[in-house]
Amino acid sequence: MLVELLLSALPVALPQEGDDPVGRATIYHLDSIETLNGDALSNASILVRDGIIERIGASLMVPEHAKVVDLRGTGATAMPPLVVSHASFFPSESRGRGRYGQYRAVDAVHPDEESLQELRELGVLFVGVDPPGSGIPGRTSVLRSDSKNFLDDAVVRDLHLKLSIDMSKTAKELLRKALEDGDKAIEKEKKAFVDWEKARKEWKEKQEAKKKAEAEAAKNGKAEDKPATSAQEGKGGNGDKGKNGDGKEEKAPSETFEAPKMDPSLTPIVEWIRKERVAHIWLDSPGEWLHWKEIIGERELAWEVVLYHTTSTNFHEVVEDIAKSGVRVYAPSRISFLPSTRVRNNLPLVLTQAGVKNLVLMPTSPNNVQAVKDWRVGLSDLVREGLDRNAVLKAISIEPAKAIGQEETVAPLTAGGPATFVITDGDPLNPFSEVVYMVASGEVLYDREKDKEN
């Protein structure tokens, strides 16, 4: 009895297994919380109830029956989960360069459980999956790392239009032609709409005229009016003279506009031109940036740029122009070198200094899950060499979440916000840190201890 009283008086209660009432709370006691909404909190707790962060801060009262996860003293740090904006590492169909706008990633990519498990272990909740191929390979889809079947479980099946370019006439021609064809398709549709409207208007006028004539005929009851009515109908119709005049042979235009059929590979291009879809252009050199700008010219389109490069790059040559464009920029999390030198180049830092606002950091390669495993190594280098630590944390979690439309799930950790976070056993950017828990809407998706047991 005495022991029970003492235990209840303690601010930290032990978890009570088996008691799982609806609306039960869980409290996580942590050494640090990177809320990404102002300063980090030290020695603080997150109280979760019904998938929502009920309270967050230091010295929280533990509610009765709350499940308590006390990780203090282990370096435990919580932050919003990681989001990989672009991934091509899942098994997929093989496809070359071409216009494959009709395909979504879900149609061609087959996520494997092993990779998904690794993503969970690394604290990644969402992953943007790219369609295979280059040129206009198709549309991206979004997957949660606890998914089983991609097609059914995809959070978003049809997101961005992926585009890529290289410095060749063929590559540029592919994009130019797609835009030209898109313009033509839009024009064709516009013309069809105008024709339909005209046909509807004429049809309505004719019908009204007919009714009027019939009403007058009925009113006057004169047989000589009938020929005049027939002549009037013939005038307003499609030249179907000789018909019996009752309009039965004429087909009424449909009440709703039916757009002409479009080449499915062109559909997302047309949506892009209409600003209904965002395109992601993949570039691997500053020269390609110029070629891309030349292709789109003065068009106002919705697009974001993926600066995909290997160990060396001179993208810094065009950062001001990129910043001026105001687009969201995706960059690999690595210190690169100036070409043919060992001069170190922190491109993400240069981008932010140039004024890029919406920076998203990606693992160094989208093609290998190993790059996700090594992500923290690259990130720590970026911070060591000048990039703001808080900006890095945002650029791997809440910023990519916004980019793939998951900002309501992966958001700064605040009271009232979604209880979606990842807990590491140290600084999240320390390459040696490991993920202890990943929680999504209050539900534990990954528990290192349980995982080890399994």
Partner 1 sequence: MTAFTRIVLWACASAALPLFAQPAVAMNAWPQDPPKEEVQQPPVEEVEEAEPEEVQEAEEEAAPKKSAPSPYLAVVGGDVYTVTRGVIAGGTVLCKNNRILKVGQNIQVPEGARVIDAVGMRVYPGLVAVNSRGIIRGNGTEARDSFDPFNLMVDLGLASGLTTVQSSLAIGKLTRGTLEGHLLATADWVNLSLSGSSPSSKRKLRAQMDEAREYLRQLRDAELAQKLGEKDVKMPDEKKAPQEHLGLLTGERMARFNASNAKDLLAICEFLEEYPMKSVIFGGLEAWTYASRLGRVGASVVVTPRQKRWADENLNRESGWSIENARILWEHGVEVVILPSQTSISLGGLAGRDLMNLPMEAAFAIRGGLPQDAALRAVTINAAHILGVADRIGSIEPGKDADLIICNGDLFDYRTFVEWAVVNGREVYDKQRATYFAHIRPRPETEPTTPLETLVEVLDDMDETDSKSQDVDVPEVEPQDG
What residue ranges bind partner 1 (CB under 8 A)?
167-169, 172-173, 285-287, 290-291, 294, 314, 317-318, 338-341, 343
DSSP 325: H
**CA-closest candidate to residue 58, choices 11, 121, 122:** 11
Q: How many distinct helices (H) and strands (E) make up the chain?
A: 15, 21
Q: Is 144 helix (H, G, I), strand (E, B) or coil?
A: strand
Q: Are 74 and 437 in contact (CB under 8 A)?
A: no
> Nearer to partner 1 by C-beta: 43 or 168?
168
CB of 259 to partner 1, least distance (A): 34
The sign one gets for the Cα dihedral 237, 242, 245, 246 is negative
CB of 270 to partner 1, least distance (A): 25
> Nearer to partner 1 by C-beta: 168 or 244?
168
CB of 30 to partner 1, least distance (A): 46
Report which secondary-structure segment, H or E, holds 188. Answer: helix 169-220
CB of 165 to partner 1, least distance (A): 10
- Overall size of the chain counted in residues: 454
DSSP 52-116: EEEEEESSPPPPTT-EEEE-TTTT-EEEPPEEEEEE--S-B----EEE-TT-BHHHHB---HHHH
> Nearer to partner 1 by C-beta: 86 or 291?
291
> Nearer to partner 1 by C-beta: 24 or 97?
97
> Nearer to partner 1 by C-beta: 168 or 220?
168
> Nearer to partner 1 by C-beta: 135 or 428?
135
CB of 365 to partner 1, least distance (A): 22
CB of 359 to partner 1, least distance (A): 21
CB of 318 to partner 1, least distance (A): 8
Partnered with residue 30 across adjacent β-strands are 44
> Nearer to partner 1 by C-beta: 146 or 166?
166
DSSP 254: P
